[in-house]
């Protein structure tokens, strides 16, 4: 009994201890607050997953959807599933958060997070309809069951890099999550995919030579296929045919197939470098049927016409883009800067074939044609060199008796479209896509969604946004509140 009395006395002493009593209350209150925070966190996590309520406070708004995307999703009438393939360790949280907004914004879009170790069949189950993306351990697979089309997006599809002269490395400068994902959704829900054909079999530019060109087309949501007529392949008149600097002539049978392709409304996209052979009789017959003739020699700008060539290199032309039906959009947008290195020139035939209307797209300034002569390796003008202003690109419309129209585009330099530096520093990509669009008369999916900066600007008083102010001030306010509560109790 005495033992029980001792324990009661001890409990009474504990109850009467002011510090312990206050401390116990604080501990209980802390436990309740923690429990409440956990419950609220779980509640808001669930609401965020279901309704995408999270406010995007990032410096670049990487997870925010613009009006273009919202309108595109509102008009979507086919189901699309997005597989976010991520490593075991996780993935890009900004990208995943943005995908959650797609899931919430449209009943037609669903998103699941996948891992190749747990679901390896994804690697073989989906093929990119554009032929570019490969399923890796960190990619997006956008699939439309109704059309059967898939688009695989990797990091290169939504990141941009530029060379840092100070470090000697390429830095990530821009991200285009929203643009790439929205375009991919629209791409896979199309009834038919825009396609470009590339002729092979005459030692044209190889796959290695055209890698940049093909990647540009694929990133712009075109499918690219190679066609070898001698091997039994057939042409689709609905898709433009690229003939990229052939070194061997067409056979009579192939020429007949190309002429039939034209009669069915097929269009030609042709490049002809100045070093290409000129004695290809069937190939030249195809050009003549559109009123076009290739001229021998290298186009060299005259030294005094400084604005018509690049730096101190008169063989690198800066042609003048003509304001035509084909190029008017580019001229209005100021997308006219092109560099034509070691170009071939063309002439319109004096007598145009029936139904043909041809005109120049790109003209040189004052220039001359330097003929290759044995024993001469200079580009300086020589007596007898033809001089004047030359067309280095032409467009030709050919109208057939049944009303079918075929178009031909020709450019005297393939490097404009196959060189990475040209693509990055000139208007070559805009020029390429405008030509393809004009030939096909069907736009590939391309949305005017501006990429977001990938690097945060250095903090300055002039660029403090409300989100930044709240982010900085909130921890300070919490600290101040804690001090106000704890300081009066320091002696308790």
DSSP string, 358-395: EEEEEE-SSEEEE---TT----S--TT--EE--EEEEE
> Is pLDDT of 266 > 60?
yes
- Rounded CA-CA distance 247/249 in Å is 7
> Is pLDDT of 74 > 70?
yes
* pLDDT range class, residue 318, cuts 50, 70, 90: very high
- Contact by Cβ (8 Å): 112, 84: yes
For the stretch 161-172, pLDDT in tens is 666 667 766 666
**Mean pLDDT of all residues in 107-132:** 85
Residue 426 CB neighbours (<10 A): 20
Indicate whether this model's pTM tops 0.85: no
Q: Strand order of the sheet with strand 340-341? A: 309-310, 313-317, 340-341
Burial class (CB in 10 A: 0-12, 13-18, 19+), 358: buried
Q: Residue 237, SS3?
A: coil
Question: Could you give all domains of the chain from N- to C-terminal order, each with its CATH number?
Answer: 2-51+458-489 (no CATH), 67-175 (3.40.30), 194-440 (3.40.50.880)
Q: What is the pLDDT of residue 448?
A: 66
Q: What angle do CA 67, 69, 70 make, to 5 degrees?
A: 60
Q: What is the pLDDT of residue 222?
A: 87
- Rounded CA-CA distance 199/240 in Å is 10
* pLDDT range class, residue 399, cuts 50, 70, 90: very high
- Contact by Cβ (8 Å): 227, 244: no
- Contact by Cβ (8 Å): 275, 290: no
- Phi, psi dihedral angles at 359 (to 5 degrees): -160, 160
Strand partners, 316: 341
Query: Would you give the distance in Å from CA 244 to the centre of its chain?
Result: 23
For the stretch 378-387, pLDDT in tens is 889 988 899 9
């Amino acid at each position: 009994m005495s033992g029980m009395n001792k324990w009661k006395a001890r409990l009474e002493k504990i109850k009467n201890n002011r510090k312990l009593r206050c401390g116990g209350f604080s501990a209980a209150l802390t436990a309740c607050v923690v429990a409440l925070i956990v419950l609220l966190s779980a509640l808001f996590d669930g609401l965020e997953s279901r309704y995408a309520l999270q406010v995007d406070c990032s410096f670049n708004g990487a997870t925010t959807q613009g009006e273009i995307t919202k309108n595109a999703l509102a008009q979507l009438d086919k189901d699309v599933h997005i597989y976010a393939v991520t490593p075991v360790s996780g993935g890009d949280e900004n990208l995943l958060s943005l995908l959650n907004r797609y899931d919430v914004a449209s009943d037609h879009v669903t998103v699941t997070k996948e891992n190749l170790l747990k679901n390896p069949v994804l690697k073989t189950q989906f093929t990119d309809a554009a032929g570019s993306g490969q399923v890796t351990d960190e990619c997006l697979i956008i699939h439309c069951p109704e059309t059967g089309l898939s688009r695989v997006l990797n990091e290169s599809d939504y990141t941009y890099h530029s060379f840092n002269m100070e470090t000697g490395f390429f830095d990530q400068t821009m991200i285009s999550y929203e643009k790439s994902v929205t375009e991919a959704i629209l791409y896979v829900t199309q009834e038919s995919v825009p396609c470009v054909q590339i002729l092979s079999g005459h030692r044209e530019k190889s796959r290695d030579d055209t890698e940049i060109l093909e990647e540009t087309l694929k990133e712009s949501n075109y499918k690219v296929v190679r066609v070898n007529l001698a091997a039994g392949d057939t042409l689709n008149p609905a898709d433009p045919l690229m003939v990229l600097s052939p070194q061997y002539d067409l056979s009579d049978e192939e020429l007949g197939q190309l002429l039939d392709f034209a009669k069915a409304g097929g269009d030609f996209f042709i490049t002809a470098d100045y070093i290409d052979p000129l004695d290809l009789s069937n190939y030249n017959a195809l050009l003549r049927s559109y009123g076009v003739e290739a001229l021998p020699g290298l186009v060299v700008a005259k030294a005094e016409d400084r604005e018509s060539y690049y730096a101190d290199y008169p063989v690198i032309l800066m042609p003048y883009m003509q304001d035509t039906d084909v190029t008017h959009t580019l001229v209005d947008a100021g997308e006219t800067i092109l560099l034509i290195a070691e170009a071939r020139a063309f002439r319109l035939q004096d007598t145009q074939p029936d139904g043909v209307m041809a005109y120049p797209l790109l003209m040189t300034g004052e220039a001359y044609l330097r003929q290759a002569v044995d024993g001469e390796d200079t580009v300086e003008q020589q007596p007898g060199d033809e001089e004047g202003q030359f067309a280095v690109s032409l467009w030709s419309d050919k109208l057939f008796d049944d009303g079918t129209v075929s178009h031909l585009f020709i450019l005297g330099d393939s490097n404009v479209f196959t060189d990475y530096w040209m693509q990055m520093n000139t208007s070559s990509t805009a020029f390429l896509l405008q030509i393809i669009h004009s030939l096909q008369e069907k736009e590939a999916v391309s949305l005017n969604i501006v990429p977001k900066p990938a690097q945060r600007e250095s903090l300055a008083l002039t660029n403090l946004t409300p989100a930044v102010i709240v982010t900085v001030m909130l921890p300070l306010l919490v600290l101040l509140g804690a001090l106000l509560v704890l300081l009066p109790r320091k002696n308790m």
